[in-house]
Structure 1
């Protein structure tokens, strides 16, 4: 990647060790004028509705306290701040964004990448294989399949 005034790297960050590794690789191998660390979050009310729908059991309605910040957003902000700090330590001029997922995490990442017109997306992956990979599709794999931008996928450390 050539360095220029408009070079923007989007780093998907969820606080996992694999995401931390992806930030270190981005700082080591990429030069860009700007890095945006993105943390996706889902409101607790939507999480509760999705989980209760999966259980097949009718759940009583839950109305969140709209005067207080959603706990999921507060958690996402803390995770995002950690990612910004790691990116800055890796040598990247970084800023953060917490993005609300409407459908899936990978779709939220693709949407924000398009909105920001980034040059490359960096993400870690769990490196799942076999049956586990079939049952739980990787966010990184879905970003790669659905985003028409370069994607750097950093695999987990081989311990």
Structure 2
């Protein structure tokens, strides 16, 4: 795992968000699901999403949301990111479900947030919801999947 000195060199766009062992990821947009989706024979049929109005979002109890974080991330070749939820959210019954960031990925990170609590939860755009932990990866190629954005 990389520490803050290495992170500052590799991720200058995240200045001010670097922590001793990771990069804080602030909430950008929140979406609700408006249609069904499917994954059959590796064919992705993503659900339609509706963007909620901010800057303060109310996460209803027992409800899932798709969220984006800012800024866009560029993972250098030879590195991978794991995304972990901030402990404040865990303590408030809010979970952030994430994936692995592959070497070479560039784009907007999208996570799922679920309110496991019995009560609504309010959160403001720009609040830190997750932390990216960066690892060196040897012998890897680069991400070239359907979620790659152009630089």
Question: Which TM class, normalised by the smaller chain length?
Answer: under 0.3
Q: TM-score, normalised by structure 2?
A: 0.24
**Larger radius of gyration between Structure 1 and Structure 2:** 1
Bigger helix fraction: 1
Q: TM-score, normalised by structure 1?
A: 0.24
